Structure 1
Amino acid sequence: MKNIAILLVLLITSGLSAQNMETYIYSIKGQDTLRLDVFTPKNIKKSDSLPVLLWMHGGGFSGSHRAYPDDQNLVKYAAKEQNYIGVSISYRLLRKNTATGFGCDCTKDDKMETFKQAAIDYLDAAKFLVENAESLHIDASKIIAGGSSAGAEGILNAVFMKDYFVANKEAYNNVKFAGLFSCAGAVVDARYITEENAIPAVLYHGTEDQLVPFASASHHFCDPKKDGYIMLDGSKIISEKLQEFEASYYFNIVKGGGHEVARIPIEEMDKIFNFFERTVINDEVIQTKIIKTTEK
């Protein structure tokens, strides 16, 4: 395996959970040692090469962690029930312990730098998986990018805005994403979604999300006079771009829903993975929009 010198391997095998877990260091950046947890099916064969769900947790770029129960349960589920490699990553929490946080007092420049570095960390994690694909039993052509809230913003910018945020794009020439799974996410500028980078997408979003806009609006709905005013394009705009390019999507709209829709919909995983089976594995084109209403 490449990069063996920087690997921290913690092997945990559980008969109850029916998957194996290993932890690796994928990058060291200043004071931050960035790790990822790799869950594999318990009975994986040496010859297996499996699709991957590469997950980025939420937390406003200031909190939470890769082993938060909801996030870890998702990647465990991917390995145990769907025969995927499930991966949950740490990344730099650049707004942690800052006076302005990530709201309307955080400057536009600081927000853009946070989005940029989160996207780069995510790409570095994907690059690590690609470089070690054989040893990790990964099919590098079938990486599903996934995240919720801040993590969804990170993965959407990594998938669609690499040309904007990354100076050394050639370093990631071998990183290709086959699909994405976003819970309450947005991209900095949907005009960067093109026919070339449009991929099958699962999108969950509430129409009344006051933190990450459902359509096109300011982040946290900040007033234009505030330092943190920055426009973002949410799931509605992303789905419209995918529609334009005849790319697959499974768009779950929650009418009246707020940012709680960032919660991982673990009860709907069978439908989500069925969508990826049909679109990523079998190359079908499916465009589905589901509209739900919040319970009052």
Structure 2
Amino acid sequence: MKKSLLTLLAFFALHIAIAQEFKTLTYFVNDTTKLELDLFLPKTKSKDKLPMLIHVHGGGFSGGKREDGHHIAKYAAGQGYAAASITYTLYMKGRKFSCDGILTEKVKAFQIGANQLWQATLFFINNAEKYNIDSSKIFISGSSAGAETALHAAFWDRNIMALYPQKLPESFKYAGIISGSGALMDVNLITKQNLIPALFFHGSCDRTVPYGTAAHHYCPTNSSGWLMLFGSYSIYNHIIGLNGSTHLYTYCGGGHEYSDELFAKGQQQIVDFMNAALKGEKQQAHTVITTGKPCKTGDYDFCK
């Protein structure tokens, strides 16, 4: 029985593997940096240009690898999307990202990540014909540090925060964003003019990246690395206030361990969100999920 089960699992693994076309590509090179990405394309060729998802892995800007995003990239490719998981500079490797770190170093990590995500986006815009991509339908996603990268890439002023001379077209706008346990340094970066559909998921008791509005790691105000962050719940409410399209999944009692939850276990919910966004369907929903985990952080009525 055990041998038969292993054979069956191997068959399904092979079936999934051949359902996508896989490539490792270099998307950015300069004198000091070479960055690669893993691209998954549907095996069946489409006459229509493909929508795209670009994913950024987590790891506190000091760890993680692009393979961590393969689960959502493979799934999205199986649902008719071009999907890429990118490598980016782990700027905080060897530096402190905790309360006793240096504030400007934290901001620099966000800026480098966002700029390199812009470069990955530009790579696919420039190679849209080669890979049959619709450059007006590019979504970005990320987990933890990757979510912070994606959020700032979506809403920062790309001219003010640019580190590289190669820039995205002025008129370019992402089709949407998916953020797993991410946060913004300033929720007011999101305006009516730059609104895009946004899907969030986050544990309500996250002590690493705040679910609401709080300091990074809940650092005391006299910390050298003190940084105020606006988490998923705060961003969601801000977008609702702007009458934008958004959906928040709250894992009541959950901590930072939920930062990859939908990317690893709820991929169809992500694909459904992107499909709805492409159809122009407006979403304003808050899904509350009980985890059974108690905590003292964030006493929200909907979690009682």
* TM-score, structure 1 normalization: 0.88
Does the CA-based 8 Å contact 2:210-2:217 persist in structure 1? Answer: yes
Deviation sequence 1:53-87 (CA, Å, 0-9, x none): 1000000000111013xx1111001001x110111
Code of the residue aligned with 1:250 in structure 2: it is H
Given the alignment, which residue of 148, 162, 169 partners 1:153? 148
Does the CA-based 8 Å contact 2:147-2:180 persist in structure 1? Answer: yes
In the alignment, structure 1 segments of 5+ residues that lack a partner are 1-13
Q: Name the structure 1 match of 2:62.
A: 62
Code of the residue aligned with 1:23 in structure 2: it is T
Distance in 2 between residues matched to 1:16 and 1:189, nearest whole Å? 41
In structure 2, the CA distance between the partners of 1:94 and 1:201, relative to structure 1 (3 Å rule), is same
| Structure 1 range deviating more: 82-91 or 261-270 | 261-270
Q: Name the structure 2 match of 1:124.
A: 119
Superposition deviation, residue 16 in structure 1: 4.2
Does the CA-based 8 Å contact 2:115-2:163 persist in structure 1? Answer: no
Q: Name the structure 2 match of 1:24.
A: 25
Structure 1: which 4+ aligned runs deviate by more than 4 Å?
167-170
Distance in 2 between residues matched to 1:152 and 1:54, nearest whole Å? 11
Q: Name the structure 2 match of 1:144.
A: 139
Does the CA-based 8 Å contact 2:199-2:248 persist in structure 1? Answer: yes
What percentage of aligned pairs have identical amino acids?
Answer: 36
Q: Please identify the structure whose Cα radius of gyration is greater.
A: 2
Does the CA-based 8 Å contact 1:140-1:176 persist in structure 2? Answer: no
Distance in 2 between residues matched to 1:169 and 1:200, nearest whole Å? 28
Deviation sequence 1:155-197 (CA, Å, 0-9, x none): 0000011355237798222542010100000011111101111
Q: Name the structure 1 match of 2:272.
A: 274
Does the CA-based 8 Å contact 1:127-1:175 persist in structure 2? Answer: no
Distance in 1 between residues matched to 2:34 and 2:128, nearest whole Å? 21
Distance in 1 between residues matched to 2:226 and 2:154, nearest whole Å? 23
Q: Name the structure 1 match of 2:87.
A: 90
Does the CA-based 8 Å contact 1:148-1:263 persist in structure 2? Answer: yes
* Aligned 1:233-248 pairs, distance under 5 A: 233-248=230-245
Aligned residues: 276
Q: Name the structure 2 match of 1:190.
A: 187
Give the CA RMSD over aligned residues: 1.8
Superposition deviation, residue 48 in structure 1: 3.3
Does the CA-based 8 Å contact 1:38-1:88 persist in structure 2? Answer: yes
Distance in 2 between residues matched to 1:228 and 1:190, nearest whole Å? 19
Deviation sequence 1:64-115 (CA, Å, 0-9, x none): 11013xx1111001001x11011100000001123x2x11122111111111
Code of the residue aligned with 1:72 in structure 2: it is H
Work out whether 1:74 is the aligned partner of 2:72: yes
Q: Name the structure 2 match of 1:171.
A: 167
Deviation sequence 1:243-289 (CA, Å, 0-9, x none): 122211110011111101102323322222222212x2210111010
In structure 2, the CA distance between the partners of 1:28 and 1:84, relative to structure 1 (3 Å rule), is same
Q: Name the structure 2 match of 1:11.
A: none
Does the CA-based 8 Å contact 1:179-1:201 persist in structure 2? Answer: yes
In structure 2, the CA distance between the partners of 1:168 and 1:16, relative to structure 1 (3 Å rule), is closer
Distance in 1 between residues matched to 2:168 and 2:90, nearest whole Å? 22
In the alignment, structure 2 segments of 5+ residues that lack a partner are 1-13, 294-304
Does the CA-based 8 Å contact 1:254-1:291 persist in structure 2? Answer: yes
Distance in 1 between residues matched to 2:148 and 2:247, nearest whole Å? 18
Distance in 2 between residues matched to 1:162 and 1:86, nearest whole Å? 25
Does the CA-based 8 Å contact 2:119-2:167 persist in structure 1? Answer: no
Does the CA-based 8 Å contact 1:239-1:251 persist in structure 2? Answer: yes
* TM-score, structure 2 normalization: 0.86
